[in-house]
Every structure is written in C-alpha cells, then in structure tokens.
Structure 1
Amino acid sequence: MGDFITTASTSALPKYDVLIVGAGIAGSSLAHALANLPPRSSQSPLRIALLERSLAEPDRIVGELLQPSGRASLAKLGLESCTEGIDAAPVHGYCVCESQLGGDDVGKKPRTVHIPYNNSDKGRSFHHGKFIMALRAKALEAKNVDVVEATVNTLIECNDTGSVIGVKATRAGGEQMEVYAELVVIADGCFSNFRSKVMGKAGAKATTKSYFVGAVLEDAELPIPDHGTVVLTKGYGPVLFYRIGERDTRMLVDVKAPLPSDLSAHILQNVLPQMPPSLHQSMHAALSTQRLRRMPNSFLPPVKQGTSQTKEGVLLLGDAWNMRHPLTGGGMTVALNDVVMVRDMISEVHDLSDWREVRDVLHRWHWARKPLASTINILSVALYDLFEADDENLAVLREGCFKYFERGGECVSGPVAILSGMAPSPWLLFTHFFSVAFYSIWVLFTHARLVPGGEKPMYAVPTVDMYPELAVKSVRVFYTACVVFLPLIWSEIRWWAPASAE
C-alpha cells in the first residue's frame, strides 16, 4: 500500500516521476492510473507524489452526478468499485418539469417530459466527499504512490530553462518542504492557484453567469424516482434535484449574480411556489434548518497546452484547465475521460523529463479529447441559455425544446445520448440544436399560444394575418439560436497555437 507521509523531512522525499497537485476527482484517479501502468521496458513503475491541502472528507455541492460515459471511464481506470459502498443512487435519466405557475389560470396543467437514458445506460449520484475518499483510498493502495497532506505555495522552476521541476509546500504544522518530479500535474480544481502561472498570456479567463445554491432534502419525493429532475421556472433559472443517498436528495437552485442578500427568502418566495407540490415540505424543512451552500457556474474553454507561451514541465488537468456549466452534470465525465487519455499517452513516453515527448502528448490529447469534451462543454452552456430563457426569443426556443422532447423517439434518444456522453459528437449536437431552433419556429406558426386581452386570457392558433409579424419574429429567434450556439463552437476550436508559437 502507498505511503501517507506525515512527518518525513524534506530530504527524505525522493524525486518522483510525476507529482500531482490536488487529490480530487482528476488528481486521485490519475495517481491510481499512472501507478498501475505496466513498467516501461526495464524501468521500475512510475513513482507518484499526490499532494492535497486537506485529506479530510470534502463537503461540496457539485461533483455528485456521474453520467454513463463517466462510469465507463471509471471502469477503464479500474475504479468502478468507487461508486459501491458509498450509498450511491442509480440515475436512469431525466425528468424536465414546467413551472407550477405555468398556465393554471387558463386550465393548463404544468407539463412533464420523461427523458430516459438509452438501452441499459445508467448513471450514479452520490455525496461528493464519499466518492472522493473512495478514489483516494484506491490511490493509496499502490505501493508507488506517496500521499502528502500539504498546501502547495509555489512552483519551482529550473534556473536555466525556466521549466517547472517541482513545488514548494507547507505542511499543516508549518514545516516547509520541496518536492521534485520529472512532470508536474496541476489538478487543484476550479479555484486553481496556478492556472495563470502555467498558461501565461495564452490562458483564457473563466466567466460566471450565475451560481448554484445547494441544500440537501430529506425523504424528498421526485416526480420520477431515480431520475434527475430539472424544473424550468418563470423569471428565474432552472432548479435541479437528484438523489445522492437512500434518503438524501440534492437541490441546486440557479441564482443569477448579484446574489440576493437573503438566499433562503429568495428561494421561499420566488422559487418554491413553482416547484412540484411533492417537494414543498422537504424544501421548507431544508431551508429552515440548513446553511445554504453556493458555487459559481463557470465556463472556461480549454486552451492548448505545451506551446511556447505556456510553462514547460507542467500540465493542467480537470477544472483547473477546463470548466463547463454544471447543469448537465458533465464535469466528472470530461475529467475521467481526460485521465484515461493522459494515462494511455503517458505510457508511450520514454522520458518524462524530455519536454518534446510530453509536448507531443499534450498536442495529441488536446485534439483527441475534443469529440467528448467539446460536445459536453457546448451542450452545458447552450442548454442553460435555453432553460433560463431571460428574453422573448429564448423563451420561444425553450418552448420549442420542450415540445421537441415531447415528440419522443430520436428527439429524445439523440439528445440524451449526447447528454450522457455516450454519443461524443459536436456535429450531432449541432444537428439537434438547430433542429430544435427550426422546430421552435414551426411551433410559433402552428401551435396555440396565449392571446392577451379580454376578460380571461385564452389560447389560440395564429391566423394568416399574424404571419408577417411571426416571420419577423422567426428571424429573430433563429438569430438568437446562432448567437447562443456558434460562439460556443468557436470557443472550442479557436484555442490552437499558431505555427510560430510551437
């Protein structure tokens, strides 16, 4: 079993093959993966150092839902047992619900659409901390992994080349230490302290549109058991529910910045009345007894690493490098897929201190991950823009998306295959997104809509005399769809290094 170093002096620490900063999803799984690689020719197995600020069980409100593709990556890494024995709940798909304020005054009941995973695909949801501890335990099982509880302060650079050769860190007791390695991996999460240092001027900046405010509901009754539930509210962002234990259900409320001073009051007054009645009691109990947690919903496009503008000897992994909106629960799926690819490509490197070899790995990895990572990244933000629908044109697209799902068949199986990561295809995503856009326009012309005026609002199908106005509106709707989707495509393809930077 690997060592959990607690009191060793700086001189007692050997030079490692790989040093990983951050024992979260990406860091812990990579430590296990690299430690269990077959020895390279006549060389010994890789020596791994895994540094983490605190090895106590973390308490976070994200990183709790693992899509089917993420489970497949866990299996490839030999980590599928990490979702066992932690009170994990099965996830069989999604349920999208309309706000309870949706049209009751004209006799319309709120709509619900069922979006099951295809075939035997199944996800898992769990308490984040329990899953992290299971991953760390697997990393510790390897004899060639040393786990060090210490806060990394700075990167150590070679005086001659400027490449990163190690880190300076501080233990809990204040002891200073230096750890050296042929390759340093930074996996310290969304609030990375080293992102800008590694990427330099080439780095992108994370953007935050809103926050998820989280609580745990006890004995909540979801509209469809063992399904993630998304409630589309009127005037506010979407609300997510998914079970993370036998009795626990995670609630995530999307709240735009700037945040209200009293989050509980905001949710009670504006959000709770729009939720399915079966959730009201458990929501009231949670909001009156728990401290609400919040996390920024950030988007950070993946900038190519290993160029002349980025640091040598080090690479970024996980949320330290690439983030997407957590609405679709795709973060762990992307991270674990990245770990699988990095493990396989590093196994081909003969000398980890040879930056030319490592740089080739970073180039191949950057493009090999695109089908899955780009699909999930783009979907997460595009779907959020549709679901939060803060203007009239987005509202038309949201209505079209709901009705598109109601058609069933390929209109459900295709999008859910993309969402689950089982169909990693930006082109398939493009096809379905613009199918929704054109279907939304067709719905605009052919379906009944609320007509204001009179003593009581009523629904009516548009008449021919309304077509010119609707034609103009349809152009605006299609333009809005392009404004939502095309910049996201560009964010995924623009971050290559020009020839002069290689």
Structure 2
Amino acid sequence: MHAQSPYDILIVGAGAAGTTLAQALSRGSAARPTGRYRIALLERSLAEPDRIVGELLQPGGREILQRLGMGDCVEGIDAVPVHGYAVVKDGDAVRIPYNHTHEGRSFHHGRFIQNLRSKARTAPGVEIVEATVTDLIECPLSRRVIGVQAVRKGATQGEKEPFYATLVVVADGCFSNFRAQVYRAKPATNTVGHFVGVVLQDAALPIPKHGTVSLIRGHGPVLLYQIAEHDTRMLVDVKAPLPADLKSHILTEIVPHLPAGLQQPARRAVETDRLRRMPNTVLAPATQGGRATKEGVVLVGDAWNMRHPLTGGGMTVAFHDAELLARLLVALPDLGDWDAVGAVLHRWHWQRKPLAATVNILSVALYDLFGADDEYLAVLRDGCFAYFERGGTCVSEPVGLLSATRPDTFLLFYHFFCVAFYSIYVMFTRPRTVRVPGEKAKTLPPPGVEEYPLLCLKGVRVFWTACVVFGPLLWAEYRWW
C-alpha cells in the first residue's frame, strides 16, 4: 500500500470545475501560517475527454478565466471566436450580437480541458493524481468525511489507496457517483430530453462565428456552432421517449428544416458519423453545510448544479462558483472548523445567485419556449423571435444575460414577461401561418375584431403559461431551503 498522503484539500474530478477551483485555491491563504494549501486533484483518466457538450464558452466565462490566470487555456486548440447568436425560424434569421467589447470561444471540449489540466498542474501546491475514487472515507465516530479511497492507474490487483484531507470537494460531473452520499436527503434531478450530437465538416453557418439556434416546429431546437476551422457541432434536441431509429428521425424530421446551406453537411454527417447522446438534466442548487450535507465535503460544478446546455452557460457558472468559493475559503484560518466552513457555504450559495440563477433560469426558460410542445408555448416562441427582431434593448439587454456579462435576475424577469406581453400583442396583430398535414402552409391575414374575444381568452392562457414556466424556476433558485 502506498503511504498515506495528507492534504488540505482533495478535489475529486479534474474537469472544468475541479481544475479552476484548484487553480484558484493555489493562490494561497493569508490566514494560513504556511500561505499555501496542499491540494490533490484526483481524476479517473487524464486522457483527452471526448464529449459533445462543454464546447462553447460565453464572454463572462472568458473574463473569469482571465482573472484566474487561465485565459490562455483557449489558445492553441483551434478555438473559434464567437460574436453572438443567430436564431433561425421558418427560414428567417435574427442576429443577437454580443456587445462589441465581448467575445466568446467555441472549441473541442477535450482540448480545452487538457489545457486547463496543464495549467492546474503547474499551480503551486497542486498535485494531479490519475486515480479512480471509489469511496468517501468517514470518521467512524463523527461521520465526518476525512478523505477518499482511490485506485491509482496501474495499481496491482486494483489496490485501493486512502487519501486524507481536511476538506473534500466533489467535482465529478453530471453523472456524479457521490452526490447522493453527500446530501442527507438525495436531491431530485430532472432529465428534460437528450442532445444528439454530430460534427459537420466545412459547414457554413447562416451568420459566421455566431452560435445558431434553429427552431423547428413540432420538435426541439437544433444548436450549431463552429468548434474548429473545419468542424461545426450540431446538437439536435430529442425529447423522451427517444425514437427507435434516431438516424432516420433526424434525416427525415430535422435536416429538411435546417437552413439550406446546412442541410447537405448535416445529412452527410448524420449518415457517416456516430450519433452520440447526452441527457439534458436539470438540478437546482440546494444549500450545503449545516445539517443539509455531511461534514467535511462540498459539491461543486455539475455534481451540484446543472442547467440546460442550450445557452452554453454551464462552464461559466462553474468558473464563477470556483472563483467565489476559493475567495471565501482562503479567508478561513482553519478548514477543519465545519461551523466556519458551513457559514462560508451559506454565503457562497447566495453570493453566486446573480450570475448562477440568471444563467440557470434563462437556459431552462428559453428551452421551454424554443422547444414549444403546445399552442401557448408556441405563441411565446414566435413572440420571442419577434421580440428579438425589434432590436435595440430588446436584444442588447437579453444578450448581456445570455453572455453572462450582465448577471441580473430582475432584468431577466423583466424581459421574459415583456416577451410574454409582446407575444400576446403579436397574436392579435400579425398574419398567421396555418399548417395542415400533407398541404403547403398557408398565410392568413391578421385576426379580425370578431376573433378578439377568443383571442383574449387565449392571451390569458399564454400569460399563465409564461408564469408556469418562469415561476417554478425562480422558486427553485431563491427558496430558503
């Protein structure tokens, strides 16, 4: 057995959250006599990850990386600048540009993670260990978590080795093996569908260097963004139950409704590439510390809080959480004082809200609208598209929320319900498109006065639907327990 290795902090998982937290904590603590933490970053495999999400970094996330001294991690990986979004509906595209001073990046996820790991490896006091964590170690008397059991890569006969630390941080991602063990009451996750991903070769987006959301009636949104010079990621939202033949479903139901310039590359990719699925799971952030979780252990990243990946805000939230948590922890003279750590976790939970809650609520609310599956959500989806067409603050302020450069939950509330009221106005005043199966779509003139009574009733239902979408999301973020 290897010698026991005492650390100040163990971080389980060297993904986006774990590496940035290690980097942030490595800057040291003025409250500690030695100044530096001894940090072990444990990761099952240090090979380049291969995932279909985590490939778009919003401008707000880039700013946090720069503050942490990790801004150069987006360099040298064939990353592509992102200047905003384009939303496409029925062949029309509306541009949603970032503020001219802001710029995101899109890239192959694995290359970016490898750069983050390389940066963390050179941070003072950080040791990266390739090992599979199998168990949390608890003190038999206090039930406090005091370390983990792990199997190092290459260990003979799968021999487990104990790693001990004052504080254990679990950052093992959306499929966390330890989430249920950390909480005294298991948190509820909600899988709202799946993204099916392929890579398109030499595809031309409707607006270059803009993430593209294609709205297809009767189906979930399709997200496209360039991740390298010749590679464009396409993510097709497929709701449960999944079709028996995914490839046929995408080729017949999705590809013909994409922008014309994307149909041939998409068809070629679906026919030749391996279709890969990723569940889109939502997990609201529950409080930690006190009696909510076991002593000595903290959850971060997707192990703790997940949102829909439609808006590409997940890594930004993870980086912001890591930066803020490290700033609060390094002010503590003793990480073993769980009352003090619990108080820090409480402050962290609420201080992260302006950015995290805004990103979380926006992602699920937009997905509900863009993936409209009833007539009232469809009114809101069409109204949202028309709202963006207005330009001005109807674009500049929402894109500040989307890019995580203007975190403001009240501003999100304001624009969401502006969209709701504008959707009702559009329903009364604009021509309507009627689709009959097997026939060509027909455009009808705006409703006449004689239709207003029924439209008023429908407008009430539309507003109520908006409340049903937004209200529970707001409650999940701001409830006090």
Calculate the TM-score normalised by the size of structure 1.
Answer: 0.93
CA distance in 2, matches of 1:218, 1:412: 31
2:150 counterpart of 1:169: yes
Q: Which of 450, 456, 462 is the equivalent residue of 1:465?
A: 450
Q: How does 1:306-325 map to 2 (within 5 A)?
A: 306-325=289-308
Match of 2:261 in 1: 278
2:384 is equivalent to residue 392 of structure 1: no
What is the aligned-residue identity percentage? Answer: 60
Asked if structure 2 preserves the Cα contact closer than 8 Å seen for 1:39 and 1:46, the reply is no
Q: 1:115 to 1:455 in 2, by over 3 A?
A: closer
**CA separation of 1:452/1:197 partners in 2, compared to 1, >3 Å: closer, same or farther?**
closer
Q: 1:137-159 CA distances to partner (integer Å, 9 max, x unpaired)?
A: 01111342111111111100111
In 2: Cα distance, 1:146 partner to 1:373 partner: 29
Instruction: Report the residue type matching 2:36 in the other structure.
Output: P
Cα displacement (A) at 1:44? 4.2
| Count of residue correspondences | 476
Does structure 1 residue 349 correspond to structure 2 residue 322?
no
Q: CA RMSD of the aligned region, Å?
A: 1.5
Paired amino acid for 2:462: V
1:327-366 pair list within 5 angstroms: 327-366=310-349
Structure 2 CA distance for aligned equivalents of residues 457 and 248 of structure 1: 37
2:451 and 2:264 map into 1 onto residues whose CA distance is: 45
CA-CA distance at 1:171 after TM superposition:
2.2
Name which of 246, 251, 273 aligns with 2:229.
Answer: 246
Offset from partner CA, 1:10-40 (integer Å, 9 cap, x none): 21x4200000000000001111221222554
Contact 2:30–2:331 (8 Å) recurs in 1:
no
By how many angstroms is 1:287 displaced? 1.3
Alpha-carbon distance, 1:456 to partner: 8.5
Give the letter for the 1:10 counterpart: H
Aligned to 2:79: 88
Q: CA deviation at 1:303?
A: 0.2
Alignment of 1:40-439 (within 5 A): 40-98=31-89, 102=90, 110-173=91-154, 174-201=158-185, 203-439=186-422
* Residue identity in the other structure for 1:79: M
Is the 8 Å Cα contact of residues 433 and 441 (structure 2) preserved in structure 1? Answer: no
Deviation at 1:172, TM superposition (A): 3.0
User: Residue type of the partner of 2:72?
Assistant: S
> Structure 1 residue 334: deviation in Å?
0.3
Matched-pair contact (CA < 8 Å) for 1:18–1:47? yes
2:2 to 10, 15, 18: 10
Moved more, 457-466 or 252-261: 457-466
In 2, Cα distance between the equivalents of 1:158 and 1:467? 69
Between the aligned partners of 2:343 and 2:393, the Cα distance in structure 1 is 39
Tell me by how many angstroms 1:280 deviates. 1.6
Alpha-carbon separation, structure 1, partners of 2:442 and 2:198: 37
Gaps of 5+ in 1: 1-8, 103-109, 498-502
For the residue of structure 1 that corresponds to 2:34, the secondary structure is: coil
CA distance in 1, matches of 2:454, 2:252: 36
| 1:28 matched to 2:11 | no
Aligned partner of 2:472 in structure 1 is 487
CA deviation map 1:76-109 (0-9, x unaligned) = 11100100011110000000001xxx4xxxxxxx
* Matched residue SS, 1:363: helix
